Amino acid sequence: ILNVEQSPQSLHVQEGDSTNFTCSFPSSNFYALHWYRWETAKSPEALFVMTLNGDEKKKGRISATLNTKEGYSYLYIKGSQPEDSATYLCASNNAGNMLTFGGGTRLMVKP
């Protein structure tokens, strides 16, 4: 089981603020890094699946970067909106192995 850690555990921001949070994972034998958004009363949904060092992916106002050599990924949200409020989970795995999830970052955006 990998040690995947996310920080901060929770985050309160004002509408319109940009924010970012971190996922760290073991860099040895890295295969993939996943980001999921988990809204209250819904099931987690994948945002990004990243495999290449230096990769950057974007979906609307949300983007993510990946550094496999040092074992971290950042998730950025530009101009946060109340509908961005959710728990953001990252998960990592080595080739052929199961995903290990981090503890999540709970984001609350105040209007």
Partner 1 sequence: SQTIHQWPATLVQPVGSPLSLECTVEGTSNPNLYWYRQAAGRGLQLLFYSVGIGQISSEVPQNLSASRPQDRQFILSSKKLLLSDSGFYLCAWSEFTGGEAFFGQGTRLTVV
- What is the binding site for partner 1 (CB under 8 A)? 1, 4, 6, 9, 31-32, 34, 36, 42-46, 49, 89, 91, 93-104
In this structure, what is the dihedral angle of CA atoms 45, 108, 11, 27, given to the nearest 10 degrees? Answer: 10
Nearer to partner 1 among residue 9 and residue 14 (C-beta): 9
Nearer to partner 1 among residue 6 and residue 19 (C-beta): 6
Distance CA 18, CA 65 (A): 16
Cα atoms found within 13 Å of the Cα of residue 103, Cβ hemisphere only = 7
| Least distance in angstroms from the C-beta of 102 to partner 1 | 5
Nearer to partner 1 among residue 85 and residue 94 (C-beta): 94
| Least distance in angstroms from the C-beta of 104 to partner 1 | 5
**3-class DSSP assignment, residue 83:** helix
